Amino acid sequence: MKRVFPLIVFLITLSVLGIIFIQMSWIRDAIKLRQNQRTLDIEYAISQIKEQAQKLYLTKSGNIGYMDEESRNYYLQDFTVQMLTTDEMNTIVSKAMKKYNIKENYEYCVTNIFNVPIMSSPGFKTEYFTSSTASPLTSDPNKSSRPETFYLHIADDKNYILNKMGWIIGSSILFTVIIISAFALTVRTMFNQKKLSEIKSDFINNMTHELKTPLATISLAIDALTNEKVIHDSDKIRYYSGMIKDENKRMNKQVEKILQAARIEKQDIKLNLQKIDAHDLINKVANNLSLQIQEKNGTITLKLDAQRHTIEADEVHFSNIIFNLLDNAIKYSKNNLHIEVSTSNVSNMLAIKIADNGIGMNRETQSRVFEKFYRAHTGNIHNVKGFGLGLSYVKATVEAHQGKVTVESTIGKGSTFTVLMPLV
């Protein structure tokens, strides 16, 4: 998997870059094709203008009857656009532009052999000569006695491609962005799936270890109970039976944690809401954990200073919230453990702060510590047990109570978890 994953990312990246390159090449070729088509349309329009002007000249001179090419060229030697009126020329140009679908504003001008304008549209300017398409107005300028040149200027030439191909270019850019976004999302999903796979593998290993220990203890206790010396000793029977019962409770708690995780995943946390005294429950949970704290040679200080401390909550879930936060502080502690639990009133909320002097967390860990199955690196703290479900359960349960939980931490100095619960 470690080798396949980078290969997949590389192949997808190569494919996306190839698609983008092909798209850009296609757009470039399409633009060139459209530009060439535009040039041809202008040339065809000018050719028709020239043809219609000559035809009108021959009609007005009485030589429109059948004639061969040589005769026609002979009569056109004296052709001059001055034989036509401005209105007639405007009509000829207008029809040609419509025929070839040239919708942009245009201006035209006809010059004589000395490049002096002899007829033009009203808006034609001198500076248009450099940007106009020029063509001889007579069939053979070398044989013409009055060679004249026709100039056609198309306005807004730079916007032509955008107007004609705007939707194509826009669509190409849009679909390219969609492809890139889909690629980024795919890679991100693959990374997340890879991380999730690693986290789940770690979870399975931890779960196996957590369940294996009580099972081994129960197995040893059962073996002891089958021993003939133990069968007749009621004290030992009670001892080993109690051991089996305790380990069975321990396994039930571990299984319950896994079931809680499943309920959190389905957002199916059922609350039995009732008015409870938060200070009383905090005291009870702290007393239950006092032995664990003493085993760590630690201390716990309660500063329950909130004037209002009655909340509407599920007693079991709220006790679990406090238990998990205190248990987390104990697990990730150093020598001389000290935990401080304080309460205060913030607006219409009860703020519960649980601070410790443990190993602390970096910013990345703080941003992920409430994720399911996530377990922080413990540095020099070894044998930290658990499934990585405690804090994700805390967050989901607090939010189910319409509350909020946050964490502040500094590496080497400890962490402070703050729980905000609505007051009654």
Q: What is the pLDDT of residue 53?
A: 86
Domain boundary among 155, 180, 211: 155
The domain boundary, picked from 138, 155, 172, lies at 155
**Residue 206 is part of which domain span?**
163-265
Write the CATH number for 377.
3.30.565.10
184, amino acid identity: A
Contact (Cβ atoms closer than 8 angstroms) between residue 119 and residue 86:
yes
Q: What is the pLDDT of residues 334-381, one digit of tens each?
A: 778 999 999 999 989 999 999 999 999 998 888 888 887 676 655 444
Write the pLDDT tens digit of every residue in 381-394: 434 455 456 788 89
Q: Choose the final residue of a domain: 155, 183, 208.
A: 155
Q: What is the chain's percent helix, strand, coil content, to nearest 5?
A: 60, 15, 25
- Inter-axis angle of helices 315-331 and 278-288, to 10 degrees? 40
Instruction: Indicate if 371 and 337 belong to the same structural domain.
Output: yes
Whole-number pLDDT of residue 409: 93
Q: Which of 334, 411, 417, 421 is nearest to 380 (CA)?
A: 334
Radius of gyration of the chain (CA): 45
- In whole angstroms, give the CA distance from residue 357 to residue 342: 15
| Cβ count within 10 A of residue 345 | 14
Note whether 249 and 327 are same-domain residues.
Answer: no
Handedness of CA 138, 142, 146, 148 (dihedral sign): positive
142 with 56, same domain?
yes
Strand partners, 407: 417
Residue 1, CA atoms < 13 Å, CB-side half-sphere = 7
Residues in the chain, pLDDT under 50:
66, 379-384, 387
Pairing of strands 299-304, 338-346: parallel
Domain shared by 85 and 174, yes or no: no
The number of folded domains in the chain is: 3
The dihedral over CA atoms of 303, 307, 308, 313, expressed in degrees to the nearest 10, equals 10
List, in sequence order, every residue forming a beta bridge with 314; answer none if it has no partner: 273
Q: CB count, 10 Å around CB of 179?
A: 15
Q: Which helix (H) or strand (E) holds 335?
A: none
User: Quick one: tokens of 120?
Assistant: 């033009």
The per-residue pLDDT for 304 is: 96
Same domain, 244 and 128: no
124 and 26 in a common domain: yes
Q: By three-state DSSP, how is residue 409 classified?
A: strand
Task: Note whether 20 and 125 are same-domain residues.
Answer: yes
Q: Are residues 381 and 279 in the same domain?
A: yes
CATH number assigned to the domain comprising residue 222:
1.10.287.130
**Phi/psi of residue 80, nearest 5 degrees:** -145, 140
Stated pTM of the model: 0.51
Check if the beta carbon of residue 222 is closer than 8 Å to that of residue 402: no
Q: Are residues 66 and 191 in the same domain?
A: no
Q: Which two tokens stand for residue 314?
A: 């599920």
Listed in order, strand segments (DSSP E) in 28-182 are 106-111, 117-120, 133-136, 149-154
